[in-house]
Chains A and B, each alone.
Chain A
């Protein structure tokens, strides 16, 4: 098997074939659960602070009260956060959904060509893409904006969508290329014997097998596009088009920061990503997946 198949954002795991058989009667089982629970608690500790703080009044929100439950429970912070963030939530969807889908599809096509329909120098092109992941974005915001201005690119959300698609090329190509590398050559041979062209091969051989890689790429792209602040704040000047991250950042005044509101806002803003994790996570688990290819 190809060692290169497991490069970074590999498809999320499959349910092991017969977990019940192997786990039955294992003495280590309680220990295992203890470990899982301890880690769960540790990881949820900051989330707990986020949640309790979001239900407090501002006088109670400081470091010395981090662990305590609210004296007076109030949803005022949630109310404020919802009022402030709801218009921009719509913008975030408008931007994250097309950007995620387009960049994932593009990644799939690029990954397919770079692994299964190779041309001379394909590895070089892949390396050329990959290096793009490492550019420190903060340093290039000024020329990037100038570039958009020079070609008169439509301002606002289209710019942001475009930027996310372009800067998503490296990571999505990486995900799909390493995934497609695990698809056995025999499948390609079969297609070749039928004299299927490139697009037809992609459409009828590769794409139907791509679900796991799609899920991984969608999760990664959606998370990073949804949570992006830097591109959004630099590329969008019109407050009416701001995504939720910029609105969330604006909860902090230049002087007093209402921690309760910004934490309620942060939870609110992270819900869509969480839903994506839960929905797509299950999609893996149900086993519509990759691992069988290797068996």
Chain B
């Protein structure tokens, strides 16, 4: 009784949020799953049960197979790229440099630019035109004497194109990951580093054995943020690649099915599969978080 009086107000304070999330997130997820199991395959609304028909359709859909390959390659490149760029930038800034605020603002700036227009710029930068029509980054390579890099096909390469497509995403989010790591670096108590140095550890070893282990939770958190952006990626792909199969990802296909083809059930099935994909990503993270909290 007494304890309930203690935690009661807390629950009360949070309950409006619980209700809102319940309706606007779980209610809508429920709606979506229901649609995916129905036979609502055209503009006319129906709610008749159709079981897993829409999912089966997806399994035999060549476009879907390609979408999945695209998103996997994109996600892998994007996450690794953004983590590396973020970590490198944070490492360079970590011990404090003159003009840190200036550099930080520059690195964060891309996040402020809407992709509606930045997409066009990236389409130009990654232009694969051959010969004397070459432009964008390919020209820069030539000018800098990096001609050996060749004239890249960028995102038009059938096998590796989606890796190139991750570049603008890294550009947009790299600065943010830098900020996370910078906070992580500065969260490492100076005494720990000093102690290691006293023990005669080289600066390299200090990083390896003292600093980097402390960054693990940051990395994990960043992974989640990047992962969920990546799996749902939409604007960037449409802005750069348009609606073409060669750059199509699940969220784009979902949009096409729902709003162009009016195949609501199949679109909803993609949404459900995306959610499942994301939960595979997030559940281990949640378990880790709760466990490590208990430990402390």
Asked if chains A and B are in direct contact (CB within 8 A), the reply is yes
With contacts A8-B180, A10-B221, A291-B186 taken as known, whether A50 is within 8 angstroms of B113 at the C-beta atoms is yes
User: Which residue from chain A places its CB closest to the CB of B15 in the assembled complex?
Assistant: A125
With contacts A114-B14, A198-B9 taken as known, whether A134 is within 8 angstroms of B275 at the C-beta atoms is yes
Which residues of B from 220 to 266 have beta carbons under 8 Å from A?
A: 220-222, 224-225, 228, 232, 234-235, 251, 254-255, 258
Contact status A119-B116, CB under 8 Å: no
Q: Which residues of A contact B187 (CB under 8 A)?
A: 1, 5-6, 10, 291, 294
CA distance A210 to B210 in the complex (A): 28
Contact status A125-B129, CB under 8 Å: no
Q: Which residues of A contact B10 (CB under 8 A)?
A: 113, 117-119, 122, 198
Q: How large is the interface on A (under 10, 10 to 19, 20 to 34, 35 or more residues)?
A: 35 or more
Q: Which residues of A contact B179 (CB under 8 A)?
A: 12-13
A58 CB to nearest B CB, Å? 13
Task: Annotate A54-91 by CB proximity to B: 1 below 8 A, 0 otherwise.
Answer: 00000000011011000000000000000000000000
With contacts A113-B10, A125-B14 taken as known, whether A294 is within 8 angstroms of B105 at the C-beta atoms is no
B243 CB to nearest A CB, Å? 13
Contact status B182-A3, CB under 8 Å: no
With contacts A46-B122, A125-B18, A265-B117 taken as known, whether A9 is within 8 angstroms of B225 at the C-beta atoms is yes
Question: Which of A49, A120, A130 contacts B121 (CB under 8 A)?
Answer: A49
CA distance A113 to B13 in the complex (A): 8
- In the A-B complex, list the 4 residue pairs whose CB atoms are closest, starting with the nearest: A19-B96, A266-B117, A139-B271, A119-B7
Residues of A within 8 A of B (CB): 1-17, 19-20, 22-23, 26, 29, 32-33, 35-36, 39-40, 43-47, 49-50, 53, 63-64, 66-67, 106, 109-110, 113-114, 117-120, 122-123, 125, 127-140, 142-144, 147, 163, 166-167, 169-170, 173, 178, 181, 197-199, 223, 227, 229, 245, 248-249, 252, 257, 259, 262-263, 265-267, 269-270, 273-274, 277-278, 281-282, 285, 291, 294-295
